[in-house]
Chain A
Amino acid sequence: EPEVTQTPSHQVTQMGQEVILRCVPISNHLYFYWYRQILGQKVEFLVSFYNNEISEKSEIFDDQFSVERPDGSNFTLKIRSTKLEDSAMYFCASSGWPDSSGYTFGSGTRLTVV
């Protein structure tokens, strides 16, 4: 069964450093998403991406965040200057449809900012 692959599984970074979280969506999917889950809290939508541009973003997704699909296969989330409160599990997802009916989530990257 096709999978969404996220790397690394765990990343530790110092406050103020830039991090890039990587995702390889399912190959024929067209819609891509990032979510995050702070420990003990609910899963929160960050951003959706379609046709090489952001479709929708949440208020969490401020100027410190950016997404990119640099080469037609990878989908990345960049945090320019990490803060302690960015520590969370970040999930990538992809879908062949815009309505969540065909969502597949990756297994997540646990980001720890120290």
Chain B
Amino acid sequence: AQSVTQLDSQVPVFEEAPVELRCNYSSSVSVYLFWYVQYPNQGLQLLLKYLSGSTLVKSINGFEAEFNKSQTSFHLRKPSVHISDTAEYFCAVCRGTSYGKLTFGQGTILTVHP
């Protein structure tokens, strides 16, 4: 079975500061890794994903995450956050052969202050 741990339940930062949201996973098999974002009163939106290839993946709005197999981590980073990045962020993993079942972390609430 897979599990995901997001080490920080809440991360407050000031606008234009860098941020890192941490995610560690455990699995006995290869997995795909995802970050989802949930804005208030909205559904889950895919932010970025790692399936294979380059371990550094990027989103269109400036977030990036790096897959580190040896540390079983997939931390999310952004060099300069905006107020609009305030949301809850979920890390998730999927085992490729399990018909797409996603296992989510507990979520990290990112609050960007002016």
A and B together in one complex: yes
Contact (Cβ within 8 A) B44 A100: no
Contact (Cβ within 8 A) A100 B100: yes
A35-91 at interface with B (beta carbon < 8 Å): 35, 41-45, 48, 50, 55-56, 91
When each residue 12-34 of chain A gets 1 if its CB lies under 8 Å from chain B and 0 otherwise, what string results? 00000000000000000001010
Inter-chain contacts of A45 with B (CB < 8 A): 101-103
Picked from A91, A98, A106, A107, the residue with its CB within 8 Å of the CB of B100 is A98
Contact (Cβ within 8 A) B90 A100: no
A106–B43 Cα distance when bound, in Å, is 6
A100–B44 Cα distance when bound, in Å, is 13
Contact (Cβ within 8 A) A103 B46: yes
Inter-chain contacts of B101 with A (CB < 8 A): 33, 45, 48, 56, 100
Q: Which of B57-65, B69-77, B104-112 contacts A (4 or more CB under 8 A)?
A: B104-112
Contact (Cβ within 8 A) A101 B49: yes
Contact (Cβ within 8 A) B106 A42: yes
A101–B106 Cα distance when bound, in Å, is 21
Contact (Cβ within 8 A) B104 A55: no
In addition to A31-B99, A43-B107, A106-B43, 13 A-B residue pairs with Cβ atoms within 8 Å of each other are A42-B105, A42-B107, A43-B92, A48-B99, A48-B100, A55-B99, A56-B101, A91-B43, A100-B94, A100-B101, A101-B49, A103-B34, A105-B36
| B binding-site residues for A, Cβ under 8 Å | 32, 34, 36, 42-46, 49, 51, 90, 92, 94, 96-107
